Amino acid sequence: MKVVRAEIIAIGDELLYGQIMDTNSHWISQELDLRGVKVVRKTTVGDDRKDILAAFSAAESRADLVLITGGLGPTQDDLTKPLMAEYFDCPIEENPEAVEAVTEFFKKRGREITPLNILQGHLPACCTYVPNEVGTAPGMWFEQHDTYWMSMPGVPHEMKKLMQDFVLPKLPVLFELPIIVHRMIKTVGIGESWLADLIRDWENALPKNIRLAYLPSLGHVKLRLTGFGTNKAEITEAIAQQISLVLPTINEYVYGYDTETLETAIAKLLTTKKKTVALAESCTGGYISHLMTSIPGSSSYFQGSVVPYHNQFKSEIIGVKETTLEKFGAVSEETVKEMATGVRSLFRSDIGLASSGIAGPDGGTESKPVGTIWIACAMGDQVETKKLQLTQDRLLNIQLTAVAVLNLLRICFSKI
């Protein structure tokens, strides 16, 4: 089976100057890799005619599929469209469908369309117009010079939609792709090297056609199992078998598989057990509430939250005793317990979660340095608490605490 080669070209001065980080190429390469397409080159060029044309030419000699992001805006420094027309020697013409789509896009938002935007509906005659439902610049698909080309806007969410709706579904139609099956085991609450130690024997015994990759991120470690072969059902079964072999060793850390996130896993737990939750967030400032409410349908288990950013509001709004605050301080086990039970009463929820700590970079003392954070989960008669000692980085501390709170909730559920 011939290997299908792809090249990714990102266009934009702002990428070369380092003003913007290119996350698009990274995302695209992950999606291609999942489907058995081999990315052979990633290239970043500026808004320069000679450089862009040279990049097109070089890509064509190396790849079967060329994915291009950027340079499609309505202003003078957006060169992708005219240069692709020049490169394929075809004229730019009004595309009625595209013009209508751009006009509609503006109408829906109650805005007048500008002449520059109407021009976004004018496309190279030799391309296939690919509608962009979440932006003004259309995608353009070309089959030229024995190569497939897709031009997309540089705005990440627009690029992703075009990839998901148009490009990725096309791949198995255009190419004969190897069978690759991925499964992801999602763990939380254990570091990468400890996890590796736990599962070393199992990892060393994996069959040749199944590979393991560790993908650590904030407070999580994903274990990705990748199987190769010619029969999808067989590979799928083989991977499932390997998962059942390793699960007993790591079960307490596993919160889900594949696309499950900690938030969706929590959402499932709350829905299945018909429990509701309320949050009192001090140092995390609303971040955990945001994570939970990012899930559609969260109103069925999320009652609400309070961010009592000063001590008097911990007392006035969620009922933490003033004597507790005076005696132990805001960042203490006693206070965070009362925050959890108090917010549970306020919102009449089944569960109360709370965080209180010193996110930094200032505010630390010798006994309570930056990164000292207490969290609590009030469920039934119990209140589980945990003390975290994190980093010097404010944002990191907020994010790590959020993971710890959701994990604490998960652990609480496993005990009832």
Closest approach, Cβ 48 to a second copy, in A, equals 8
State how far the Cα of 134 lies from the Cα of 5, in Å rounded to an integer: 29
- The contact mask relative to a second copy for 228-267 (x = CB under 8 A, - = no) is ----------------------------------------
Left (φ > 0), alpha (ψ -120 to 50) or beta: where does 12 sit?
left
Q: Does 26 bind a second copy (CB under 8 A)?
A: yes
The single residue listed with the structure tokens 């994903």 is 222
Residues touching a second copy, count (CB under 8 A): 104
What is the distance of C-alpha 291 from the center of its chain? 12
Closest approach, Cβ 30 to a second copy, in A, equals 3
Q: Which of residues 88-117 bind a second copy (CB under 8 A)?
A: 108-111, 114, 116-117
Closest approach, Cβ 126 to a second copy, in A, equals 26
Strands 139-144 and 128-130, by their bridges, are antiparallel
Could you tell me which stretch among 122-130, 243-251, 266-274, 307-315 binds a second copy (CB under 8 A)? 307-315
Which residues 6+ apart lie within 8 Å of 145 measured at CB?
60, 88
Shorter beta-carbon distance to a second copy: residue 91 or 296: 296
Q: Which of residues 145-204 bind a second copy (CB under 8 A)?
A: 155, 157, 182, 191-194, 196-197, 203
Candidate residues 166, 202, 257, 313; the one interacting with a second copy per rule CB under 8 A: 313
Q: Which residues of 379-388 are buried (b: 16+ CB within 10 A; e: fewer)?
A: beeebbbbeb
SS3 410: helix
Give the number of residues written for the chain.
416
CB atoms inside a 10 Å sphere around CB 408: 20
Contact yes or no for 282/355 (Cβ under 8 A): yes
Q: Does 274 bind a second copy (CB under 8 A)?
A: no
Could you tell me which stretch among 43-51, 164-172, 267-275, 376-384 binds a second copy (CB under 8 A)? 43-51
Candidate residues 142, 255, 347, 413; the one interacting with a second copy per rule CB under 8 A: 347
Could you tell me which stretch among 33-41, 142-150, 166-174, 377-385 binds a second copy (CB under 8 A)? 33-41
Q: Does 39 bind a second copy (CB under 8 A)?
A: yes
Closest approach, Cβ 63 to a second copy, in A, equals 11
Tokens of 93: 């013409």
361 preceded by cis ω (within 30°)? yes
